[in-house]
């Protein structure tokens, strides 16, 4: 498939390690190249970003790409620049905390819905001039209350091609996709289950803190580990405890300034930290392909959150491990997760 692309794209893809297309890329790229709209259910780490970036660049199209979080938007921007390395790409990032030059509108814009609508309401951006509108992590958009924002953006867009990418396809997302897409192609590649490449283990602990800390320290061995805590306070407390014990650790929490969150995220991605403690909200959209292990220091609130957490490892064909600590009071949630795994 890649051999049919233009030489500059082939060269950039080869340098970025894209030798063979993934299943999602094989399914999606031809549809978007042919001008068809898609709704795609695929697990995180499946190569979905490249699946829509490649057609946008190959067609030399204009595109508006919507992301639920600033971190994911920044990663999408990085991917566009990587794949479009040998093209003259005109791309902008529009997220909270960053200025936007409204004297010119880029051919490709990546942003979060709230910030985009804020600029649109001030007349600084026009949604009607894009060939593509892509909604990434659509189910997370729904979770975070962005569905009306997305509908507003689509209502003021004249895009010929739309793409919705999601780990799950709730009814509201399907309805939205059909409302704004002509001849919608539905592509379901993965059932909503933890990826097969992840080895999962559940560890019963005696109490909610000290025993968990002891078990966590046993697991820290120089590998790249993502640790989930249930609240900002617990994440921060755990971060300082690990730091005090000499662990090379970073923190990702929703109450941190955006510049610090991005600094810590990239510190983990590039290997400055081998452990990252995060909350669910702050970690949405994290896409780091070489996370060796996910540790649920605190059990997730529901099965859906468990799967999203676990999906942060075992990406792009790599083998990962997920470890979940739980107390006897949380045994029912473990039973629900195990029932899902048995399907």
Digit-coded pLDDT (tens) for 198-215: 899 999 999 999 999 999
Q: 193: how many CB neighbours lie within 10 A of its CB?
A: 12
**Contacts for 228 with CB less than 8 Å, ≥ 6 apart:** 278, 279, 280, 283, 294, 295, 296, 297, 298, 300, 309
Is the entire prediction scored with pTM above 0.95? no
Supply the pLDDT for residue 193.
58
Question: Mean pLDDT, to the nearest integer, of 130-137?
Answer: 97
d(CA 139, CA 135): 10
Supply the pLDDT for residue 70.
87
Question: Mean pLDDT, to the nearest integer, of 10-34?
Answer: 94
Asked if residue 323 has pLDDT above 70, the reply is: yes
d(CA 193, CA 191): 6
d(CA 145, CA 112): 12
Supply the pLDDT for residue 339.
82
**Contacts for 16 with CB less than 8 Å, ≥ 6 apart:** 82, 83, 85
10 Å CB burial of residue 49 (0-12, 13-18, 19+) is: buried
Please give the share of the chain, as a percent, with pLDDT higher than 90. 68
Asked if residue 88 has pLDDT above 90, the reply is: no
Supply the pLDDT for residue 102.
57
Supply the pLDDT for residue 3.
87
Residue 96: which pLDDT band, with cuts at 50, 70 and 90?
confident
Q: Which of the pair, 176 or 71, is modelled with greater confidence? A: 176
Digit-coded pLDDT (tens) for 294-322: 999 999 988 878 888 888 888 767 889 99
Digit-coded pLDDT (tens) for 269-296: 999 999 999 998 766 667 787 899 999 9
Q: Which of the pair, 325 or 103, is modelled with greater confidence? A: 325
Same fold, 2-188 and 198-341: yes
Average pLDDT over the chain reads: 90
With the C-alpha atoms ordered 326, 290, 286, 166, is the resulting torsion angle positive or negative? negative
Name which CATH class applies to 198-341: alpha beta
Digit-coded pLDDT (tens) for 221-260: 999 999 999 999 999 999 999 999 999 999 998 788 878 8
Supply the pLDDT for residue 190.
62
Asked if residue 343 has pLDDT above 60, the reply is: no
Supply the pLDDT for residue 282.
61
Angle at 129 between CA 286 and CA 38, to 5 degrees: 50
Residue 192: which pLDDT band, with cuts at 50, 70 and 90?
low
Supply the pLDDT for residue 298.
97
10 Å CB burial of residue 59 (0-12, 13-18, 19+) is: middle
Digit-coded pLDDT (tens) for 29-70: 999 999 999 999 987 777 899 999 999 999 999 999 999 988
Supply the pLDDT for residue 103.
47
Supply the pLDDT for residue 191.
55
Supply the pLDDT for residue 46.
78
Q: Which of the pair, 126 or 96, is modelled with greater confidence? A: 126
Residue ranges of domains in the chain: 2-188, 198-341
Asked if residue 171 has pLDDT above 60, the reply is: yes
For residue 131, CA distances in Å to 35, 120, 149 come to: 10, 18, 19
Specify whether domain 2-188 bears CATH 3.40.50.720: no
Q: Which residues of 67-88 are buried (b: 16+ CB within 10 A; e: fewer)?
A: bbbbbbbbbbbbbbebbbeebe
């Amino acid at each position: 498939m890649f051999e049919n692309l233009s030489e500059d794209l082939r060269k950039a893809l080869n340098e970025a390690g894209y030798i063979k297309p993934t299943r999602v890329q094989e399914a999606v790229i031809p549809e978007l190249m042919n001008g068809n709209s898609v709704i795609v259910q695929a697990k995180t780490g499946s190569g979905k970003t490249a699946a829509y970036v490649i057609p946008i660049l190959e067609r030399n199209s204009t595109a508006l790409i919507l992301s639920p979080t600033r971190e994911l938007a920044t990663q999408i921007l990085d991917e566009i620049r990587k794949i479009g390395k040998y093209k003259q790409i005109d791309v902008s990032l529009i997220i909270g905390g960053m200025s936007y030059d409204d004297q010119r509108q880029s051919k490709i814009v990546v942003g979060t819905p709230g910030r985009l609508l804020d600029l649109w309401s001030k007349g600084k951006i026009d949604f009607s001039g894009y060939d593509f509108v892509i909604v990434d992590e659509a189910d997370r958009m729904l979770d975070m209350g962005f569905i009306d924002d997305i509908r507003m953006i689509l209502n003021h867009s004249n895009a010929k091609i739309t793409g919705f990418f999601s780990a799950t396809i709730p009814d509201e997302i399907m309805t939205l996709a059909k409302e704004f897409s002509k001849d919608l192609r539905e592509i379901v590649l993965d059932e909503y289950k933890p990826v097969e490449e992840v080895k999962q283990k559940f560890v019963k602990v005696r109490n909610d803190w000290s025993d968990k800390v002891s078990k966590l320290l046993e697991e820290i061995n120089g590998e790249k580990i993502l640790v989930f805590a249930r609240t900002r306070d617990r994440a921060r407390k755990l971060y300082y405890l690990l730091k005090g014990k000499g662990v090379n650790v970073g923190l990702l929490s929703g109450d941190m300034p955006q510049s610090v969150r991005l600094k810590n995220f990239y510190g983990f991605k590039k290997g400055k930290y081998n452990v990252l403690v995060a909350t669910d909200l702050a970690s949405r959209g994290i896409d780091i392909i070489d996370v060796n292990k996910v540790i649920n220091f605190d059990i997730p609130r529901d099965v859906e959150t468990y799967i999203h957490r676990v999906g942060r490892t075992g990406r792009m064909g790599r083998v990962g491990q997920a470890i979940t600590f739980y107390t006897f009071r949380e045994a029912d949630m473990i039973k629900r997760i195990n029932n899902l795994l048995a399907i």
